[in-house]
Structure 1
Amino acid sequence: MVRPLRLQYAGAFYHITVRGNRRQDIYVDDVDREHFVSILSDVAYSRNVICYAYCLMSNHYHLEIETPDGNLSAFMRDLNGIVSQDYNKRHGKTGHLFQGRYHSYLIEKETYLMEVARYVVLNPVRAGLVKQPEQWRWSSYRATLGQVESPSFLATYALLKFFHNRRPQAQKNYQKFVSEGINVPSPFIEIEQGIILGSPQFVHEVWNSNDITDEIKELPREDRIVGRPMLGDLFDKNMTKEARDQTIVIAHIRCGYLLSEIARHLGLDQSTVGKISKARRIPNSRPDPILK
């Protein structure tokens, strides 16, 4: 199976979904759920990850997180690994608790933070488990409203400040915003290509970051082709030669296009494209987006 890209950089913002193996339930009882929240708290602290929203369903869970250190893979490895060990130990089981790799969307924070936060806490309502989000104990909704004590890892203020600069009014606005979204379609239906939810400018900036490093070359080509932009979206007919040459590297190394595919698209000899790619493949140490 082709694995999706992992776009990672300092300050990246994500929606995460993890499902149970063979879509089985990942919680037997409320003790399992309490353990999950406790482990999430510990791992978020140890990996310096900011959690804006979460929701535990029967056979999957949702997170809305930010990674100041650009360490999504390490965070998810720790979280799912410790949760699986705890579950298996408690129930005398072995094997995988979760289904393969987690699914992640890279999100444009300024544009979609509120919508994704709403989507996360409305999952139980959309699934028909409850009529109102406050009736579901296992999400961040009630804590964000101040109805229950907020767990230490939950960044309620960081979310609420998008609704108002004073907490009581922000909570009222948040509650109204969530209530109005029950019949609003998922924001993820707006994604036309792959794994990025954001404005065209944001998508373009992510895919065209100049921070090409040797780490990207370690990815198998099949790991780079899910969610990649079309060659026609990468190359602008009016771009300078300098920009074209750098984009050749991006298309080949980051997005997994064959040199022959790039050459055919540009109307160049494959040998010419190969020389450009090799000559311009210079590591850059700036902490912009990289793929892992």
Structure 2
Amino acid sequence: MARPLRIEFPGAVYHVTSRGNARSAIFEDDDDRHIFLNVLGQVVKRFNWLCHAYCLMDNHYHLLIETQDSNLSAGMRHLNGVYTQAYNRKHGKDGHVFKGRFKSVLVEKESHLIELCRYVVLNTVRAGIVEQPEQYRWSSYLPTIGKADVPAFLCTDWLLANFSSSLSESRRLYRRFVKEGMAASVSPWAKLAGQIILGTEEFIQNAKEMIGGRETIREIPRQQRHVGRPAAAEIFLLEAVADKQERNRLIRHAYGTYGYTLTEIAQALGVHYTTISKVINCGKK
């Protein structure tokens, strides 16, 4: 079974999602949502987290979590585990509520967290559940703009401080920022590196150094093991590939060092994948 790569350190920020097993609902009614938020509050307090935004959908949820200690995995096990017990007990069920392991993306706070706070609360608009984010009760949008009580676990100070030092003005500007996001055509995930990191080039390279040898662990998805790798097309643009020996060296480099598949390399060079296979196999002799 694939094992997602986790990069954990004090002060790390993550976009976290977890989906229902077999696409099933994880919230059957509002009482379930209340239970989940209560458990989330306990986890935030116990594991010393900051929660910057959340959105509860029918069969999954989104969280933006800042871990002041290196404990994302431990906290998520507790969150999903305790909620699963409560859900099964309430509905008389047994077994898994969530599908496999949770998914997380390491986020550079300074460059991308504000945008993701907007992205998270607009999930219901994109899904067609509501037309305006203020029409949905189960996200952090209403508490952040002052239209609902702020849960004890929700941290709105950092987000609002980015807009103004005045609370009323910062809420007004935040509302405008979210409204502008409804017309955005570019996904914040367009620059996602290796499925797990969102940030500047410097941030990605620093995160890559933290991986520390886990590139060889086969249970971790290939794209995550080789986070920060150059695009396949870039590898063959770095040097002239007219010389066949040089081309073959670059092919083996792309395959062995960066984990590109035969098909991906073939597409970058515009040749058949069997040609790439022959180069790789000859290099092993």
Which TM-score band applies after superposition, normalised by the shorter structure?
A: 0.7 to 0.9
SS in 2 for 1:7: coil
| Cα deviations by residue, 1:88-122 (Å, 9 ceiling, x for unpaired) | 00000000000101111100100001100000000
Aligned partners of 2:64, 2:230: CA distance in 1, in Å?
Answer: 32
Asked whether the 8 Å contact 1:49–1:67 carries over to 2, the reply is yes
Which deviates more from structure 2 when the two are superposed, residues 12-21 or residues 158-167? 158-167
SS in 1 for 2:219: helix
> Which residue in 2 is equivalent to 1:11?
11
SS in 2 for 1:17: strand
Asked whether the 8 Å contact 1:4–1:226 carries over to 2, the reply is no
SS in 2 for 1:31: helix
Aligned partners of 2:150, 2:230: CA distance in 1, in Å?
Answer: 47
Aligned partners of 2:229, 2:163: CA distance in 1, in Å?
Answer: 39
> Which residue in 2 is equivalent to 1:221?
218
- Considering Cα pairs closer than 8 Å and 6+ residues apart, tell me whether 1 or 2 has the greater RCO: 1
Amino acid at match of 1:205: N
Amino acid at match of 2:164: H
> Which residue in 1 is equivalent to 2:271?
none
Aligned partners of 1:119, 1:28: CA distance in 2, in Å?
Answer: 24
Greater gyration radius: 2
Deviation at 1:166, TM superposition (A): 1.7
Deviation at 1:175, TM superposition (A): 0.4
Cα 1:232–1:145, aligned 2, differ >3 Å: closer, same or farther? Answer: closer
> Which residue in 2 is equivalent to 1:189?
190
Deviation at 1:182, TM superposition (A): 0.8
Pair 1:34-2:34 in alignment? yes
> Which residue in 1 is equivalent to 2:148?
148
Deviation at 1:231, TM superposition (A): 5.9
> Which residue in 2 is equivalent to 1:59?
59
| Cα deviations by residue, 1:25-73 (Å, 9 ceiling, x for unpaired) | 1111100001111110011100101000000001000000100101100
Where structure 1 has 5 or more consecutive residues not aligned to the other structure, the ranges are 234-259, 263-292
Deviation at 1:162, TM superposition (A): 1.5
Which deviates more from structure 2 when the two are superposed, residues 220-229 or residues 133-142? 220-229
Cα 1:69–1:192, aligned 2, differ >3 Å: closer, same or farther? Answer: closer
| Length, aligned pairs only | 235
| Cα deviations by residue, 1:229-252 (Å, 9 ceiling, x for unpaired) | 36669xxxxxxxxxxxxxxxxxxx
| Cα deviations by residue, 1:129-151 (Å, 9 ceiling, x for unpaired) | 10100100000000001111100
> Which residue in 1 is equivalent to 2:244?
none
SS in 2 for 1:2: coil
Cα 1:230–1:8, aligned 2, differ >3 Å: closer, same or farther? Answer: closer
Aligned partners of 1:229, 1:40: CA distance in 2, in Å?
Answer: 30
Cα 1:146–1:194, aligned 2, differ >3 Å: closer, same or farther? Answer: same
Pair 1:90-2:87 in alignment? no
| Cα deviations by residue, 1:120-177 (Å, 9 ceiling, x for unpaired) | 0000000001010010000000000111110000001121111212211111111000
Deviation at 1:203, TM superposition (A): 0.3
Asked whether the 8 Å contact 1:157–1:167 carries over to 2, the reply is no
Deviation at 1:3, TM superposition (A): 2.4
Asked whether the 8 Å contact 2:193–2:204 carries over to 1, the reply is no
Which deviates more from structure 2 when the two are superposed, residues 157-166 or residues 128-137? 157-166
| Cα deviations by residue, 1:231-289 (Å, 9 ceiling, x for unpaired) | 669xxxxxxxxxxxxxxxxxxxxxxxxxx945xxxxxxxxxxxxxxxxxxxxxxxxxxx
Asked whether the 8 Å contact 1:118–1:181 carries over to 2, the reply is yes
Aligned partners of 1:143, 1:118: CA distance in 2, in Å?
Answer: 14
Where structure 2 has 5 or more consecutive residues not aligned to the other structure, the ranges are 232-254, 258-285
Deviation at 1:189, TM superposition (A): 2.1
Aligned partners of 2:201, 2:223: CA distance in 1, in Å?
Answer: 18
Aligned partners of 2:158, 2:81: CA distance in 1, in Å?
Answer: 28
Deviation at 1:201, TM superposition (A): 1.1
Aligned partners of 1:8, 1:231: CA distance in 2, in Å?
Answer: 20
> Which residue in 1 is equivalent to 2:199?
198
Pair 1:71-2:71 in alignment? yes
Asked whether the 8 Å contact 1:2–1:226 carries over to 2, the reply is no
TM-score normalized with structure 1 length? 0.75
Aligned partners of 1:182, 1:83: CA distance in 2, in Å?
Answer: 32
**Aligned-pair identity (%):** 47
Amino acid at match of 1:115: E
